[in-house]
Chains A and B, each alone.
Chain A
Amino acid sequence: MTKYFRRPAGVKDYLPPQVRKKRRIEKIIGDILEKWGYEEIIAPSFEYLETFVMSGKPGFAEKVFKFFDRQGGVMALRPDITTSIARMVATHYTDHDAPLRFCYMANVFRFQELRKGRDQEFYQTGAELIGIPGIEADTEIILLASRILKEIGIKNFIINVGHIKFLEGLLDEIKDDTSLKDKIAQAITDKNFVWLKSLIEKNTLKPEVKKTFLALPRFYGGPEILDELIKFPLNKKCREALSELAKLWRMLREFNNIHLTFDPGLARGLDYYTGIVFEIYSPQVGFPLGGGGRYDTLLDKFNESRSATGFALAEDVILSVLDRNMKDNYEPYYMFYTPANYIEIFYKAEEMRRQGYTVKMVPSVKPRSES
């Protein structure tokens, strides 16, 4: 019987050809990030669970791998890097007023249900811009993400932009019924339009509010939908969100080859993000390539009030798109030695390595004499 070694579900073995492709992409990304002034940061692989819970994402605690330290403290493998960066800023940069730019390439861990084919460990490349509240920061983050995708060879991607304040403004219209409000928020997050429709129709809401909620799925497209939406009777919060999106559009249209769409119903974790949010899609894959947005209150939770925005790219999704067209051009030289000429061959190999070649030394095997 052959012995069979099991590997947990949702983790991957990266063998050398795959690693070379991964590193090639990472090298390009790393160079761009560096040129744009984003300094690499390395976060701990695990932190106290409470640190991650502080980020406030609902259901987050269920999705992290937990274990105990010797004192019985609950530790968690990092489910994202942004939260650790927020903690680091609060620890190391309290007296630092200038904007901070950080980036990372790291593996994160999220518990997934078995047999769904989802990764439990996956790689994220991200950037965070901390300390600039204006639209220019959102613009930079979106431009940076799209520059990276273009440089590594992703074609025809679109950046889909929404605004959390727009959704919050809509939800504010449901004043008295918090349970209904939560349900509607959930339906929007899950993109369950059937449930959303029945929730809206069954309950007594102002007719114009109803109309806006029911129209939500339809509002997706170019900047013209912002003009259409502004015609709706919306409250101040919604209008502010729309005007910020219009501002972003006026900024980004000055740059070539940015394919932007608007989606006021885009909900990327309502509790975490506070302003402009975005997701990036490619026709070649059924999952987003990445996404991000503004999270101005996350640092508050670490007693460090600072505005911030950022993105994370899903490296594994990106690699699955690029993989088909990437060649692994690995061509090492092999130098054969015998016990007698080992030293001589070693020096020859060194000489070739100095000239930039990859050299592997292999014992030369004499053809086995037939016995």
Chain B
Amino acid sequence: MDLLKIALSKGRILTETLQLFEKIQMDFKGVNEDSRKLFYDFEEYGTRMILAKPSDVPTYVEYGVADIGVAGKDVLLEDKKDVFELMDLKLAKCRMAVAVPEDQPPNAPIYRVATKYPRLTEEHFIKRGFPVEIIKLHGSVELGPILGLSDAIVDIVSTGSTLKKNHLKILEEICPISSRLIANQVSFRLKSDVIMDLMEKLKRVL
């Protein structure tokens, strides 16, 4: 039997994802990002687990090299890959938000925004009706306003402690973010029995 190939995001969310699978009696023992191994076969469950960088998960799924995957909504919104979004797994819950320096007066104009999510940011500000200049950064976006690179940032916020430490406050929440179960369009059809079965099981424990 052909294995169901599941792409999982490495990092913070991996433990949570594995715990969720444990709840449905799928114990993916040994899946660990500290080991150099990038994929693991579990014949007993008929699955192959693939570990990937969070932002790459939708790409693997779009091309069908992974049948399904667990990806953050932030990545899905930014990259707009051609994948089916099947379920909200409610993992790694946080918010996409616009943040500005604490001492910024209300209604102060925003000209420049630093973010890891340029596309999503642009769409948001276009909807708000004011064009901004977007500066794409790859990490530590909070530095933007501190160093005077930008007036605001757009990033995911979970507890808000990083913002606080850097003297930033949330100006506006754009949307809630959580992990989603995604599927390749062909796999979703050809392996529908297995995928539907998995979804049913996951639904019961969520």
A195: chain B residues within 8 A (beta carbon): 85
User: Within 8 Å of chain B (Cβ to Cβ): is A160?
Assistant: yes
Picked from A191, A220, A283, A285, the residue with its CB within 8 Å of the CB of B192 is A220
CB-based contact A193/B189 at 8 Å: no
CB-based contact B86/A193 at 8 Å: yes
Picked from B2, B63, B85, B187, the residue with its CB within 8 Å of the CB of A193 is B85
Shortest Cβ gap from A301 to chain B (Å): 27
User: Within 8 Å of chain B (Cβ to Cβ): is A169?
Assistant: no
User: Within 8 Å of chain A (Cβ to Cβ): is B64?
Assistant: yes
Interface stretch, picked from B16-24, B107-115, B178-186, is B178-186
A193: chain B residues within 8 A (beta carbon): 84-87
Picked from A158, A190, A194, the residue with its CB within 8 Å of the CB of B189 is A158
B63: chain A residues within 8 A (beta carbon): 117, 286-287
Taken together as a complex, chains A and B put the C-alpha atoms of A166 and B102 apart, in Å, by: 53
CB-based contact A194/B2 at 8 Å: no
Candidate in B62, B65, B186, B187 with the most chain A CB atoms within 10 angstroms? B186
Picked from B85, B86, B186, B196, the residue with its CB within 8 Å of the CB of A288 is B186
Interface members, chain A 256-300 (any B CB < 8 Å): 261, 263, 281-283, 285-288
B19-32: CB near A (< 8 Å → 1, else 0) gives 00000000000000
CB-based contact B2/A288 at 8 Å: no
Considering the complex, give the chain B residue whose CB is closest to the CB of A187.
B85
Picked from B85, B187, B196, the residue with its CB within 8 Å of the CB of A218 is B196
CB-based contact B87/A288 at 8 Å: no
Asked whether A281 and B184 contact (CB < 8 A) given A193-B86, A194-B87, A286-B65, the answer is no
Considering the complex, give the chain A residue whose CB is closest to the CB of B85.
A192
Asked whether A288 and B180 contact (CB < 8 A) given A220-B192, A221-B192, the answer is no
Considering the complex, give the chain A residue whose CB is closest to the CB of B119.
A113
Chain B, interface size category, equals: 20 to 34
A158: chain B residues within 8 A (beta carbon): 189-190
User: Within 8 Å of chain A (Cβ to Cβ): is B88?
Assistant: yes
Candidate in A195, A217, A221 with the most chain B CB atoms within 10 angstroms? A217
CB-based contact B86/A283 at 8 Å: no
Taken together as a complex, chains A and B put the C-alpha atoms of A117 and B58 apart, in Å, by: 13
CB-based contact A285/B186 at 8 Å: yes
CB-based contact B184/A194 at 8 Å: no
Candidate in A194, A220, A283 with the most chain B CB atoms within 10 angstroms? A194
B175-206: CB near A (< 8 Å → 1, else 0) gives 00000100011111110100010000000000
CB-based contact B2/A283 at 8 Å: yes
B185: chain A residues within 8 A (beta carbon): 191, 286-288
Asked whether A191 and B85 contact (CB < 8 A) given A218-B196, A286-B64, A286-B184, the answer is yes
Asked whether A286 and B187 contact (CB < 8 A) given A194-B85, A194-B86, the answer is yes
CB-based contact B189/A263 at 8 Å: yes
Taken together as a complex, chains A and B put the C-alpha atoms of A63 and B23 apart, in Å, by: 44
CB-based contact A160/B85 at 8 Å: no
B192: chain A residues within 8 A (beta carbon): 220-221
Taken together as a complex, chains A and B put the C-alpha atoms of A263 and B196 apart, in Å, by: 14
CB-based contact A286/B2 at 8 Å: no
CB-based contact B88/A220 at 8 Å: no
A263: chain B residues within 8 A (beta carbon): 189
Shortest Cβ gap from B34 to chain A (Å): 30
Taken together as a complex, chains A and B put the C-alpha atoms of A194 and B85 apart, in Å, by: 6
A-B interface, 3 closest residue pairs, ranked by CB to CB distance from nearest: A286-B64, A191-B84, A192-B85
* 6 intermolecular pairs with C-beta atoms under 8 Å apart: A191-B185, A192-B85, A283-B2, A287-B63, A287-B186, A288-B185
